[in-house]
Amino acid sequence: MNGEPARGSGARRRPLVIAHRGASGVAPENTLLAFHLAVEMGADMIELDVRCSRDGHLVVCHDPDVARTTNGHGQVHELDLDDLRRLDAGYRYSLDGQHYLFRGLGLRIPTLDEVLASLPPHIELNLEVKSAPGDGRTAEGHRIAACLAARCRREPALVERLLVSSFDMAVLRELRAGPAAAAPVLVISIAGDLAQIEAMRALGVVDVFTKPVAAGELVAAVRRALAER
């Protein structure tokens, strides 16, 4: 890697390379190993998923339940950090469906603090706040937003590395009102809700991710909103 920040570089003439949950095609997703491999492979940004443990720690895990990726069971928000640390985050990962080479290697569900401390400062982060109005855990998203805001208050330079994304406009609105206000935000829309477009403009959203089969009306509305921000 050249060590140059990707965002805001007028000299950059190539697409931004974003590693989804780290190098998740060759290593267990959302683990420090996957993130470090992504850096070695030349990623500019790492996308990761942030949830909150029962005792208030920000942890990196995509699913609400730990069963798909670990040897445990239970909802992340119902487990303390010590419970989560005991799980093997490489247990379920297999490249061929038959061999589980990452079991017992000490891979754990990392905290956001661990991720930030272990990655080079030029690597940018797309933090997806895992909360949506329909999943019954909107309060969890606001709790995560508050923790992120506190972290940015302590470390203002962190804002330069962040792209915050969420399905929940209220969570993004909360972040926009605090110390993380300068961080770009991304709205993730499953259904392509036109009612979100005006709110999106007010938030200064940098982009919208939606279904590739979105109707032309939605695409046109999104383009107008982004052009007018």
Whole-model pTM: value is 0.80
Per residue, the 3-state secondary structure of 21-61, as one string, reads CCCCCCCCCCCHHHHHHHHHCCCCEEEEEEEECCCCCEEEC
Give the DSSP H or E segment for 137.
Answer: none
3-state SS assignment for residue 73: coil
CA dist 217 and 32 (Å) reads 41
Beta bridge partners of 126: 47, 163
Contacts of 69 (CB under 8 A, 6+ apart): 28, 29, 30, 61, 62, 63, 89, 91, 92, 93
Active site residue 142: no
Give me the mean pLDDT over the 58-75 stretch: 96
Q: What is the mean pLDDT of the segment spanning 82-98?
A: 97
Domain 18-186 sits in CATH at 3.20.20.190
Which pLDDT band, with edges at 50, 70 and 90, does 2 fall under? very low
For 160-207, write each residue's pLDDT tens digit: 899 888 877 778 778 777 766 666 665 555 445 555 656 666 666 555
Give the pairing of strands 45-52 and 124-129: parallel
Nearest Cα neighbor of 137 from 36, 196, 51 is 51
pLDDT band at 146 (very low <50, low <70, confident <90, very high): confident
Identify the pLDDT of residue 117: 95
- Whether 52 and 69 have beta carbons less than 8 Å apart is answered as no
For the segment 63-83, the average pLDDT, to the nearest whole number, is 96
pLDDT digits (tens, 9 = 90+) for 96-145: 999 999 999 999 999 999 999 999 999 999 999 987 555 556 788 888 88
What is the per-residue pLDDT for 213? 44
pLDDT score, position 191: 47
For residue 225, name the pLDDT band (cuts at 50, 70, 90). Answer: low
Q: Which residue has the tokens 């938030």?
A: 203
Going from N- to C-terminal start, the domains of the chain cover 18-186
Q: Where is pLDDT greater, at 145 or 80?
A: 80
Residue 62 designated active-site: yes
